[in-house]
Amino acid sequence: MKLFVDTADVDEVRRAARLGVVSGVTTNPSLAAQAGVSGMEGYRAAVAEIASIVDGPISIEVVSEDVEGMITEGKEYATWAPTPWVKLPSTAAGFEAMKALSDEGIEINQTLCFSVNQALLGAQAGAAAVSPFVGRVDDTGQRGMDLVEEIVSIYRNYGIRTQVLAASIRHPLHCVEAARAGAHIATVPCAVLEQMVKHPLTTVGVERFRQDWQRASGS
Ligand code: G3P
């Protein structure tokens, strides 16, 4: 399972990329707002900087809600990075725009996916990746990872090539479960990525090695 970092904050992208484990970045309008990115020029500049740090797909989300607007935005975003993934929502207009843009060879990340049916539609419309929002399903009292498991298994039935990108990841256990479910990618907030690194026994082990070495060396 590949790991993407889920942020529009360039400093966070830099911090995450330093670990050497990040294969892509996902952004959305909320993340852009949180990072203080505003306006199309601000978004474009942030994406360009992110693309100079991470060598992999950068997801850039449309804000239009109508088909024409989504297509216009999608074509523009497709020029913003070496490997752009245009994020389109799982709406009727979104599916129509997915088909039009994917027919032109633009890679699509189908976002705000909350059902297997939406994932089936996205695959037909040519999405390169589908993003089930695990944490937001959990918030409703349902198990979000069930959706990831079902999409992976149903896509396998038909050899569907759309990648399953587990999104709205809130904690390290989500990453373990997404990998167990067979997700191709998990997009993870920087803080969760940093939590994934940590284990108390590693910290204790490093300290013990240091102390033993110092004792033996008489220092
Ligand atoms: O990857 C989608 C993500 O940014 C949404 O996360 O925590 O707002 O549900 P959250």
Q: Say what the pLDDT of residue 131 is.
A: 98
Q: Which residue's C-alpha comes closest to atom 4 of ligand 1? A: 168
How many residues are there in the chain? 219
Q: Say what the pLDDT of residue 48 is.
A: 97
Query: What average pLDDT does range 64-91 have in this prediction?
Result: 98
Query: What average pLDDT does range 152-158 have in this prediction?
Result: 98
Query: What average pLDDT does range 174-189 have in this prediction?
Result: 98
Q: Which residue's C-alpha comes closest to atom 5 of ligand 1? A: 168
Residue 38 CA to ligand 1 centre (angstroms)? 18
For the chain, percent of residues with pLDDT exceeding 70: 100
All residues at 6 or more sequence positions from 154 whose CB lies less than 8 Å from its CB, including other chains: 116, 119, 120, 160
Q: What is the pTM of this model?
A: 0.96
Comparing CA positions, the residue from 166, 172, 173 lying closest to residue 197 is 172
Q: Say what the pLDDT of residue 12 is.
A: 98
151 has pLDDT over 80: yes
Residue 169 CA to ligand 1 centre (angstroms)? 7
13 membership: H or E segment, kind and range: helix 10-18
CA distance 39 to 218: 61
Q: Say what the pLDDT of residue 219 is.
A: 66
Determine whether 87 is an active site residue: yes
Q: Is the CB of 134 under 6 A from ligand 1?
A: no
Helical H segments across 21-171, by residue range: 29-34, 39-53, 67-77, 92-103, 116-124, 134-138, 144-158
Q: Is 111 helix (H, G, I), strand (E, B) or coil?
A: strand
For residue 14, name the pLDDT band (cuts at 50, 70, 90).
very high
In sign, the C-alpha dihedral spanning 132, 136, 139, 140 is negative
11 has pLDDT over 70: yes
Q: Say what the pLDDT of residue 218 is.
A: 82
Residue 143 CA to ligand 1 centre (angstroms)? 16
